[in-house]
Structure 1
């Protein structure tokens, strides 16, 4: 049962003072049998009161407000978590789609997660479906084949996509990172009417060759009859193991975003994210990046829009 020390910092920096910052966070570890929370500490600029609740998908969610003027906002999470090996349940590779349909009919939550998003290039998704789906295949085998297809036919390239990248965009250039692969797999799974959900968290592989170490990670959970929710990682072409630490689940990234919010004031913001993972053997891995920085050619337009919005308040 490995133990990980995960340090996650989200830092917003503003080029002038802002006020009335309201934020929603989903950086609490997900409560499930596969992980044990040994310690979790949150440190936030100005030490605001945090109202917590459980959202529609079962995620612990925090909301806080910083009313005073400020030029930065730092949200720091220090987590110590022990992941639990899978129990005696085993994926059943014999249960097919008829059994799945019967279970979905009885559960509105599962039914909701079978609806594919309307996209421009659904034909490309349908083509993937034709290549991986055979009537005689089990649900679990189909999920596994979809994961393998994405791993083999999409290139892992950091920096060419962001949180606003659509499934159509990813299909067009056949590349991206973990959240992109998760969104494509969700579209395929839901086209096949397999209930599937997006998962946010971390991957802690400790130099074993898996992609995505150190940064926040994303994967998919599909509902397998006779088993329940099974995690699968198309970025690495594996079923989820005890190197994955789960934060939140939902329909897509928007439901699981670690931090989102708004502020008042004509300011331009920059977002920095730092994640480090400490292992029991003393090894340490960290990832620091500027998530979103306005291009100089867009800066004037952003400034103008911000000032116009401030003038209307």
Structure 2
């Protein structure tokens, strides 16, 4: 059992004032028996009203809008969470793919979690699975061996990929971070026929030295007919333990994006994320990241250049 104080700050800044910002957030800790939310506070620029609902995956989702013109928006979530996972790996059971087929016929959601993404490089996935060998192995064993393959054969490299990097690109370079490795493991599991879901959260290992500490993290949960959903972290090649704090689950990153939205206006936006993890022994771990966003369309670039030229002319005439 462990208790963590987590502060997560998302800051958007705009080169020109924008308006009518509409946003969707998944920053609420996931509710399940092994995770208790002791405190939670949400602070947003201009203090908009937030409508909270539950999506199809069981995540709490907040929706809000800011109509007023603004050049910056800050979303800050503060939480105290007690995690009570078992510190042991999941019980070794002998559930097989045949056992799973019976379960999937009872649940549409399990079927949805079993469909692999359509890839150009699916042959690479198939080749790796043939190398690993999937015949006559339990679900637990398959998950462990696929996780170990990613951990040993893919390079953990920050700044190589973005939120828009495709699975085909990750398979080509075999480099990335937790989000990328989670997507690869999802494809392995679903190709085999094992229901698997993407998990967004934090990893708080204190002095364990795990990769991804102090930042938003991602891993995978597989479904076992005997034990239910079990978390496995291919970035560190471990089953989830008391240092994994879960925020949301879904088919992929898009279903679990902590913050996403849209706005009216012609401006370049920049995004930075700060995460602070407070441990019971008083230690703190902090990480700050400037997030790479998608490329700005040429049409928008031209509009921004025109606006900037007009602004400079106005300044010179004063």
TM-score bucket of the superposed structures, by smaller chain: over 0.9
Q: CA RMSD in A?
A: 2.0
- Change in Cα spacing, 1:267 to 1:244, as seen in structure 2 (3 Å) is same
Structure 1 runs not aligned, ≥5 long: 309-313
How many angstroms apart in 1 are the aligned matches of 2:89 and 2:240?
14
Deviates more, 1:174-183 or 1:285-294: 285-294
- For the residue of structure 1 that corresponds to 2:187, the secondary structure is helix
- Change in Cα spacing, 1:25 to 1:306, as seen in structure 2 (3 Å) is farther
TM-score, scaled to structure 1: 0.94
Deviations 1:115-156 (A, max 9, x none): 011111000000121122332110110011111110000000
User: Who is 2:96 aligned against?
Assistant: 96
User: Who is 1:174 aligned against?
Assistant: 174
Q: How far did 1:110 drift?
A: 0.3
| Contact 2:9-2:273 at 8 Å conserved across structures | yes
- Change in Cα spacing, 1:307 to 1:53, as seen in structure 2 (3 Å) is farther
TM-score, scaled to structure 2: 0.92
| Contact 1:265-1:307 at 8 Å conserved across structures | no
User: Who is 1:21 aligned against?
Assistant: 21
User: Who is 1:211 aligned against?
Assistant: 211
Higher Rg of the two aligned structures: 2
| Contact 1:266-1:307 at 8 Å conserved across structures | no
Deviations 1:192-242 (A, max 9, x none): 010000000000001212100011000000001211100000000000001
Deviates more, 1:99-108 or 1:213-222: 99-108
Q: How far did 1:303 drift?
A: 2.6
Deviates more, 1:128-137 or 1:20-29: 128-137
Structure 2 runs not aligned, ≥5 long: 307-318
Trace 1:1-313 onto structure 2 (pairs within 5 A): 1-86=1-86, 90-292=90-292, 302-304=300-302
| Contact 2:163-2:293 at 8 Å conserved across structures | no
**Moved beyond 3 Å, runs of 4+:** 87-90, 298-302, 305-308
